[in-house]
Amino acid sequence: MEIIFKNVEHRYQLKTPFERLALEDVSLSIPSGQFVSLIGHTGSGKSTVIQHLNALLKPTKGSIQIGDRTIESGKKEKHLKEIRKRVGVVFQFPEHQLFDETVEKDICFGPMNFGVSEEEAKKRANELATIVGLPKEVLQKSPFDLSGGQMRRVAIAGILAMEPQVLVLDEPTAGLDPRGRNEIMNLISSLNKEQGLTIVFVTHSMEDAAQYADRIIVMDKGKVSMSGTPKEIFKQHEKLKEIGLDIPEPLQFILDLEQRLGVSLSHEAITFKKAVEEVTKLFGGQAHDE
């Protein structure tokens, strides 16, 4: 299911003394099946964008096509529940939204709220425990007895139980240790590659954006500043730094090495694997020449 923004503007508290422009003339597309990363510094408009993806917010100008539905400014929209079922949003620190007695009941809440029978909801919870990497015995435990990483998996399972076509995640690894971060990122990647889910992923981690995304959208001051593949985006590292964003650590290492040694290296080395290959090539070549 494709999502297309056309000249979208959003103003908070419209026509009040507290009116604030959050998005201005935003046009972007999220093709079906892609893993799209949304990056930008705090206040750039990322969170406002993701709340438009399932019509939690509506544009004050422009339009958004969500599958076969079009949300236009100035028009009253009905039956938004179906959109919110198809586009599932996992907000930052989703474990704070867990509330039920058991993990199973927490996962079942969403689909049952959309009219799914208790029997079917429990079946989905059982299947999803495996998909998100939770032991089956966890289903009967309180979600508050779990580790931070496990609680986040429960929250993701609760959204997946509604069988969305698009999964939107706002900083899904925030606050996790390195192992928890890797586990969650590998889970999200597998949902994209193996389940075919479209992923929209908001992150401050340039390393995660470089490693996992098919395409990156860069937000700055409520506008789309850049859009392209990770290689295309991070080649423009000077522009990224101008708008206050970091670049992946492997690329920064390559740039530092160039400066120290006076050599020319590939700026496509945006992941740790590629950086190691580039350095091996550099020093391996020198050793061979000697």
Domain ranges in the chain are 3-247, 248-283
Q: Which of 79, 97, 81 lies closest to 158, judged by CA?
A: 97
Q: What is the mean pLDDT of the chain?
A: 91
Lowest mean pLDDT among 6-15, 98-107, 116-125, 250-259: 98-107
Lowest mean pLDDT among 74-88, 91-105, 169-183, 247-261: 91-105
CA distances, 223 to each of 62, 82, 108, 120 (Å): 14, 28, 38, 42
129 forms beta bridges with: none
| pLDDT tops 50 at residue 287 | no
Mean pLDDT of the region 112-125: 93
Q: Token pair for residue 132?
A: 């998100």
Contact predicate 245/206, CB 8 Å: yes
* Exposure class string for 189-204: b at 16+ Cβ within 10 A, else e: bebbeeeebbbbbbbb
Q: What is the pLDDT of residue 60?
A: 96
| pLDDT tops 80 at residue 288 | no
Lowest mean pLDDT among 24-28, 123-127, 143-147: 143-147
Q: What is the pLDDT of residue 117?
A: 95
Q: Token pair for residue 5?
A: 């923004």
Fold of 3-247: Rossmann fold (3.40.50)
Mean pLDDT of the region 7-31: 95
Q: Classify 61 as helix, strand or coil.
A: strand
Mean pLDDT of the region 35-51: 95
Mean pLDDT of the region 270-280: 92
Share of residues in the chain with pLDDT > 70 (%): 98
Query: Between residues 286 and 259, which one has the greater pLDDT?
Result: 259
| pLDDT tops 60 at residue 290 | no
Residues near 64 by Cβ (< 8 Å), separated by ≥ 6? 3, 4, 5, 6, 8, 52, 53, 55, 70, 71
pLDDT in tens, 188-235: 999 999 999 999 999 999 999 999 999 999 999 999 999 999 999 999
Q: Token pair for residue 238?
A: 């000077």
Share of residues in the chain with pLDDT > 90 (%): 75
* Edge-to-edge strands, sheet with 3-12: 20-30, 3-12, 61-66, 69-72
Q: What is the pLDDT of residue 285?
A: 56
Q: pLDDT band at residue 45, thresholds of 50, 70 and 90?
A: very high
Q: Token pair for residue 278?
A: 């580039």
Q: pLDDT band at residue 289, thresholds of 50, 70 and 90?
A: very low
Angstrom distance (rounded) from CA 273 to CA 20? 43
| pLDDT tops 90 at residue 175 | no
CB-side neighbour CA atoms (13 Å) of 7: 4
List the beta strands (DSSP E) in 13-131: 20-30, 35-39, 61-66, 69-72, 87-90
**pTM (two decimals):** 0.90
